[in-house]
Amino acid sequence: MGQITEIYNALLETTTYEWTETRHTVEEVAAWLGRQQESGRPVLVAVEVDEVVGWASYGDFRDSTRRPGYRFTIEHSIHVREGWWGHGIGRALMRGLAEHALGAGKRVMVAAVDGTNERSVAFHARLGFVEVARMPGVGEKWGQRLDLVLMQHDVGQLVASLAR
């Protein structure tokens, strides 16, 4: 849990990529992991030489319990330790997420990215995600209004493209 929490918090104090100023705790991450496991949602972890270098997961896009029309759509989260950017960790994690999602009957994967996070937008674009919305000023951190970029990909097509 500690290394996952460390990666989660790594850019919290220096970027607007995550719209909170409150550091995540090991206890919070452990509780979230328990909820993910109970619901059958994956939490994938990339390890290199006994070090966690990345993690990824997905959850509902909106509330598919109250609004079952969304039950085939998921929103993912992917985090890679900065020293491992560009080494294929994100791609491998995304492949695992997409394969799990396809097996779970999911059809669409959504990325909700802070508009200043150009690396994440470019990463998703390289994998074939398409920007479908840019929502100006819907978030805030440090008194700065922030844009949300929504990108999406068909899960089956994503699995096929990542298998190549």
The closest of 37, 29, 34, 27 to 8, measured between CA atoms, is 29
pLDDT at 29: 97
**pLDDT of 108:** 98
Residue identified by tokens 């068909």 is 154
CATH at residue 71: 3.40.630.30
Q: What is the dihedral of CA 144, 132, 103, 27, to 10 degrees?
A: 10
Tokens of 24: 């995540």
Alpha carbons within 13 angstroms on the beta-carbon side of residue 136 total 0
pTM here is 0.96
Beta-bridge mates of residue 108: 73, 154
> Which of the four pLDDT bands, split at 50, 70 and 90, describes residue 147?
very high
Q: At what angle do helices 155-162 and 89-103 cross, to 10 degrees?
A: 130
The number of folded domains in the chain is 1
Residue 140 pLDDT level (bands cut at 50, 70, 90):
very high
List the domain range (segments joined by +) for residue 132.
2-162
Residues forming beta bridges with residue 133, ordered by sequence position: 150
Contact indicator for 104, 60 with CB cutoff of 8 Å: no
pLDDT tens, residue by residue, 77-109: 999 999 999 999 999 999 999 999 999 999 999
Looking at residue 14, what is its pLDDT? 97
State the pLDDT at residue 164: 87
Mean predicted confidence (pLDDT) in 146-156: 98
What gap in Å lies between CA 122 and CA 151, rounded to an integer? 11
Could you tell me the sign of the dihedral formed by the alpha carbons of 20, 25, 27, 30, in that order?
positive
Q: What is the pLDDT of residues 1-51, one digit of tens each?
A: 999 999 999 999 999 999 999 999 999 999 999 999 999 999 999 999 999
The sign one gets for the Cα dihedral 23, 41, 126, 63 is negative
**Both tokens of residue 163?**
């298998």
